[in-house]
Chains A and B, each alone.
Chain A
Amino acid sequence: MKTYYKEDLKTSFIFLLPVFILTLFFIFIPVIATFINSFFKDIIFLNKRFVLFQNYFYLLSDSGFWNSLKFTIIFFIVSVPLEIFLGIIFTLVLNYEIPYKGFIRVCVLLPWAIPAAISARLWELIYNYSYGLANFLLLKIRIINEPINWLETGFSAFVALVIADVWKTTPFVAIILLAGLQAIPKEIYYQAVIDRANFLQRFFKITLPLLKPAIIIALLFRTIDAVRIFDLIYVLTKGGPGGATTSLSLYAYKYYITGDFGYASSISVILFIISFIASIIYLRVGKFRQEVL
């Protein structure tokens, strides 16, 4: 049986109290409230009524919910691997000894550092039918013969969202991977050069395997973020055309603003469970062990 000093317990409690109060009131209690609310019919101006699983039964037969679940899953399956792939290229560039290294790092950080809602606005202009950069460039190099109405068809809107998301989040992946890359001892590479391993061999036999832990961490961070995506879609496509790009967050949001809190809560709970499973995997794989303390 471990004993604790009374003085220690008292001091640590006081030091941690603000953290507890804030996270409790603005993260944990709200989440629990949403869980409880999902068992109620809670529509604004109407009486709240306990309905047990009725909201969840509705979900099962709600094609809008299934569509947004499908979109959310396809979106992360397409965008996250792309981000990891580009992230590796970015990392190699960031790690290479070139002049103006600091400048390049600042440029790479910028897309990540700006608000997603603002980046959505930048891309909205780029995708503009008549004076957007995307159509202009594609017409110039003759990939297309006439301008594309990017945000008007389901498929092109999806492509547009993926590109904008990849632009915004690849820098983050690159930074996480860079830390992993710099942890690889240089001696391994010297030995490989002596053994006449060429660049590609060095990359596939040394860099990639040793980068694996960092890749897994980036993968899981990105998965959690991609699953709850809201800002970018809200501004760029508003979930359209015809609900084709509605993510789970956006679908829940639409019910919140119409005042149907109960049903919106049940959608949020499903999203919460998906992210929660992802974060458990992350904490397991990320080797968060007691030894950090």
Chain B
Amino acid sequence: MKEEKLIKILFFIATLFVLSFCLIPFLYMLIISFCKSWDIFSLKEIEFTFSNYIKILKDPSLHCLDYIKNSLIISGISAIFSVFVATLGAYAISRLDFPFKFSILLFILASSMFPQISVIGFLFKLMKILNFINTYQALILPYISWSIPISLWIMVSYFSKIPKDLDKSALVDGCSWFQAFLKIILPLTKPGLVSAGLLSFLFSFNEFLFALILTIDYRARTVPVGIAMFQGLHGELPWGSIMAFTALSLLPVIIIVTLFQKHIMQGLTRGAIKE
């Protein structure tokens, strides 16, 4: 019994450690974003203010809302297309018979491990020729492609759990492949679709290098680049505004993680481990 108590205390301490390790940077961000001065340690009392948020929302030259809008649109469209395309592919891989099936799957999966830097030279030239630099397309196309491997892998693992007899009987009943896919398989893989969609969305929302190279200004620039480039007027960084902007742009991520924690964890482990 003594040991059990000790373990309980140990786990309590470990939990506190884990929580504070994960949350302190976020709390610090919130505190600074709501403070009048960001030199909070030398002050006797901390003054609460909304002015940082008002400033980044009101000042059109900062383009904070443009960046957030760009990010949401680009990531949203990329996620939808990535899941759609990957679902079609995963269905073929798990249900149809064709040569080099496993090699094709491995090949596509391996591609997600390539370093992004090894494609930007070509991508930049391609987008320049297509006149896509600083447009949504310039980011959406690579984002769909780079999130296909994880979406495909998640969908393959979901499809392979559904018994094959199910769609076979539909085919016997006179459904076409496409009808069988749409009416029987798709509804059963809803959790997979959600997981794949969320992970693709987060991938695109977080991507930095492509956005850095393929966009120029607020018309297509996304949040990570916008925040990385946020500069003060006179050398000194306006930390209050930066943290307010950061807090605001993290809102979609925080909402998604809170609502879909289970789907995200499931997607991640399906993407990594096959049980």
Give the B-binding residues of A (Cβ under 8 A). 2, 4-5, 8-9, 11-13, 15-16, 18-19, 22-23, 25-31, 33-34, 37, 89-90, 92-93, 96, 98, 102, 104-111, 113-123, 125-126, 128, 130-131, 133, 136, 167, 171-172, 175-176, 178-180, 183, 198-199, 213-214, 217-218, 221, 224, 227-228, 230-231, 234-235, 248-249, 252-253, 256, 261, 264-265, 268-269, 271-272, 275-276, 278-280, 282-283, 286-288, 290, 292-293
B interface size (C-beta, 8 A): 103
Verify A121–B22 contact, CB threshold 8 A: no
Interface centre among A19, A90, A120, A131 (most CB of B within 10 A): A19
Closest to B26 in A: A110
How far, in Å, is A69 (CB) from chain B's closest CB?
A: 14
How far, in Å, is B38 (CB) from chain A's closest CB?
A: 6
Closest to A124 in B: B237
- 14 of the cross-chain contacts (CB-CB < 8 Å) are A26-B141, A27-B111, A33-B122, A108-B18, A125-B239, A167-B25, A176-B273, A179-B273, A218-B272, A227-B115, A256-B120, A261-B121, A269-B118, A280-B110
Verify B224–A249 contact, CB threshold 8 A: no
Contacts of B113 in A (CB 8 A): 224, 275-276, 278-279, 282
Q: In the complex, A92 Cα to B28 Cα: how many Å?
A: 27
Chain A interface mostly: helix
Verify A15–B146 contact, CB threshold 8 A: no
How far, in Å, is B140 (CB) from chain A's closest CB?
A: 10
Verify B208–A271 contact, CB threshold 8 A: no
- Tell me, yes or no, whether B243 is within 8 Å of chain A by CB: yes
Give the A-binding residues of B (Cβ under 8 A). 3, 6-7, 11, 14-15, 17-19, 21-26, 28-29, 32, 38-42, 85-86, 88-89, 91-94, 96-99, 101-102, 104-106, 108-111, 113-124, 126, 141-142, 144-146, 148-149, 152, 156-157, 160, 177, 202, 205-209, 212-213, 223-225, 227-228, 230, 239, 242-243, 246, 249-250, 253-254, 256-258, 261, 264-265, 268-269, 272-275
Q: In the complex, A163 Cα to B262 Cα: how many Å?
A: 27
Q: In the complex, A218 Cα to B268 Cα: how many Å?
A: 11
Contacts of A110 in B (CB 8 A): 22-23, 26, 253-254, 257
Contact pick for A133, options B24, B209, B254, CB 8 Å:
B24
Q: In the complex, A83 Cα to B146 Cα: how many Å?
A: 25
Verify A118–B224 contact, CB threshold 8 A: yes
Verify A27–B146 contact, CB threshold 8 A: yes
Contacts of B268 in A (CB 8 A): 172, 175-176
Contacts of B11 in A (CB 8 A): 92-93, 96, 98
